[in-house]
Amino acid sequence: MNDSIKENHSFCIDKQLRRHIEREDYYCYYFPVPLLHRVSFLGGCTCSRRLKLLPLPCSAGGVIVMAKLVKAPIRFLPQEWNYSNKTHYNNAEVQRSRSERLVAESERLVDEIENTTRKTQRDVNKKLEQRIEEITYWKKELNTKLDELIIENDLLLAQKTRLLKALDKLQEPLCIAQQCLVNRENRVGIDLVHDEVERELMKEVEVIQGVMALLQRTLEQTDEQIRLNRSAQFYLEKDLKDKFTALTVDDYAASMTNNTPDISYVANVVRIEGNSVTPQEWIDFTNTNIVKADKQKNSSKALRSLIDSILAETTNDVLKQNEAVNLAFKFRIQETKDAKCKLEVHLNRVLSEIAAQEKNIDLLKKTIMDKEGPLKLAETRLDTRTKRPNVELVRDPAQYRLISEVQEITTNVDRLRETLGQAEMELKGLRRNQLALEEDIQVKENTLYIDDVLNSNLRKSISVNYF
């Protein structure tokens, strides 16, 4: 029939219609309009897959009838229906419980933050009070030192006697102390430490230089000492002025409350100023000024003392510090020798542990390789049993045991590999420690050569006499 239709009527379908037909699963038939009522029986055919007729007009004067297969809707089992309901119940219960926990946590958080804020404000107020007390204390100390220094400036006298010989004799111990410090700079690694020996040597240099400076200042004019006293006085006065300003600021800050009228938000205020200092640095700064003032005051007093007393005291200081340096050298050398011995003991233990860890790694690798056979066997058995025909493909206990066997072997192999990785990491760590210990032993040998040979021989030539 289609061939006869094509002979009498042109089969013309618009481009838009053709694209629609190509996208959908339609069967297309062309009928002239007079014949359309004769094919209406197609809509009434019955079969397992129904036909849906869609008549569309055509530019050729006829109608194109498209028939599409309509599939039946998916049907579900009662068990699936029940499972869907239970899933919705459980989801609703979980969401409700989570919401309840969030509400309770929110209430707890609000109370906690309120208590924390009040506690923090109390702590800030306490800290401000402590700070004010501390500034007041140091301000009082500075005032006391400033008054003493001003009085001492009025009493300054100078005497000149027997000082050139003393200055010449102090050159030798000073040079030896400085040379010891230079030699100790040749220490390497961790032994380049600011230890007690270095502190005592630096203190010895400072003591000798202080003595020489004191003796040299005694030879100078009284005006020079007055100038130094005035310099210390300037720093004390400047520090006092700063502390008065800081005290005023902190008093005002401590008097503020949450209801103070002029409080407001301040942008970028939560920061640490680049030129700020730590509390210890603040104390050290003031203490340094006080120490400087005391030093100048003591220098002025020394200038007013008898030269014999000055020389006796300075000589005692040099001798005392010389003994302290020698004692520090003795303890440090013994400490370094003990550390070297302990390092050698630990090195031997590390070497033993490296050998044991290497055996452990070999054992783990062998165990992993030994598990390849059982794993291959279990997987091959599982694969072989999949070839059972039809109903013989039973999920029997043997099947489940094979599956658990594969999982068990795989898990054990993973554990072995994890342990192997840890063992290899430990081995690397042990070898790094071995290198570190060997290097540290060499460092200790170098330190012993510097302190026990070079510096000890130098210090034997020091001779300090009373002038």
β-partners of residue 66 are 28, 54
Which of 35-39, 83-87, 353-357 is predicted with the least confidence, judged by mean pLDDT?
35-39
Q: Average pLDDT of the chain?
A: 80
Identify whether 139 is part of a domain: yes
Amino acid identity, position 53: L
Identify whether 342 is part of a domain: yes
Strand (E) or helix (H) holding 62: strand 62-70
Q: Does one domain contain both 320 and 422?
A: no
Contact indicator for 189, 444 with CB cutoff of 8 Å: no
Q: Does one domain contain both 356 and 439?
A: yes
Identify whether 340 is part of a domain: yes
Identify whether 44 is part of a domain: no
- Per-residue pLDDT of 418-433, as tens digits, reads 988 888 898 898 889 8
How many beta carbons lie within 10 A of that of residue 387, not counting itself?
Answer: 8
Q: Does one domain contain both 293 and 439?
A: no
Q: Does one domain contain both 284 and 170?
A: yes
Does position 271 have pLDDT exceeding 90, yes or no? no
Does position 12 have pLDDT exceeding 50, yes or no? no
Q: How far apart are CA 179 and CA 202, in angstroms?
A: 11
Q: What is the pLDDT of residue 11?
A: 39
What end-to-end distance do the CA atoms of the chain give, in Å?
144
Please give the average per-residue pLDDT across 350-360, as a whole number: 90
Residue whose structure tokens are 């989570």? 98
Q: How far apart are CA 437 and CA 457, in angstroms?
A: 29
- Per-residue pLDDT of 180-222, as tens digits, reads 999 999 998 888 888 899 999 999 999 999 989 878 877 877 7
Residue whose structure tokens are 């200055």? 167
Q: Does one domain contain both 182 and 144?
A: yes
Q: What is the pLDDT of residue 158?
A: 63
Q: How far apart are CA 314 and CA 274, in angstroms?
A: 43
Please give the average per-residue pLDDT across 324-331, as a whole number: 93
The stretches of 155-195 forming alpha helices (DSSP H) are 163-169, 171-184
Q: Does one domain contain both 221 and 153?
A: yes
Taking alpha carbons only, the member of 342, 337, 365, 356 closest to residue 444 is: 337
Identify whether 164 is part of a domain: yes
Identify whether 341 is part of a domain: yes
Identify whether 364 is part of a domain: yes
> What b/e sequence results for 107-146 when a residue is b if at least 16 CB atoms lie within 10 Å of its CB, and e otherwise?
eeeeeeeeeeeeeeeeeeeeebeebbeebeebbeebeebb
Q: Does one domain contain both 341 and 240?
A: no
Q: What is the pLDDT of residue 71?
A: 64
How many domains, in total, are found in the chain? 2
Q: Does one domain contain both 337 and 327?
A: no
Q: What is the pLDDT of residue 69?
A: 53
Contact indicator for 357, 420 with CB cutoff of 8 Å: no
Taking alpha carbons only, the member of 37, 65, 64 closest to residue 51 is: 65
Q: Does one domain contain both 289 and 372?
A: no
Strand (E) or helix (H) holding 54: strand 50-57
Phi, psi for residue 53 in degrees, rounded to 5: -90, 135
Contact indicator for 455, 180 with CB cutoff of 8 Å: yes
Going along 195-250, which residue ranges are E strands? none
Q: What is the pLDDT of residue 214?
A: 78
Tokens of 150: 């001003």
| 259: DSSP letter | T
Q: How far apart are CA 144 and CA 290, in angstroms?
A: 10
Q: How far apart are CA 55 and CA 44, in angstroms?
A: 15
Q: What is the pLDDT of residue 55?
A: 52
Identify whether 274 is part of a domain: no
Q: What is the CATH number of the domain that holds 322?
A: 1.20.1270
Q: What is the CATH number of the domain that holds 369?
A: 1.20.120
Tokens of 75: 């049907």
Task: Tell me if residue 195 falls in helix, strand or coil.
Answer: coil
Q: Does one domain contain both 283 and 223?
A: yes
Q: What is the pLDDT of residue 60?
A: 46
305 lies in which domain range? Answer: 90-257+279-331
Which strands, in side-by-side order, build the sheet including 26-32? 26-32, 62-70, 50-57
Quickly state the pLDDT bin for 24 (edges 50, 70, 90).
very low
Of the candidates 331, 358, 373, which is a domain's last residue?
331
Q: How far apart are CA 189 and CA 439, in angstroms?
A: 9
The full length of the chain comes to: 467
Q: How many whole angstroms from its chain centre is CA 245?
A: 38
Largest CA distance in the chain: 147
Does position 28 have pLDDT exceeding 50, yes or no? no
Sign of CA dihedral 269, 275, 278, 279: negative
Which of 1-10, 73-82, 105-114, 259-268 is predicted with the least confidence, judged by mean pLDDT?
1-10
β-partners of residue 57 are 63
Q: Does one domain contain both 323 and 355?
A: no
Of the candidates 306, 331, 356, which is a domain's last residue?
331
Q: Does one domain contain both 241 and 382?
A: no
Taking alpha carbons only, the member of 444, 198, 197, 256 closest to residue 336 is: 444
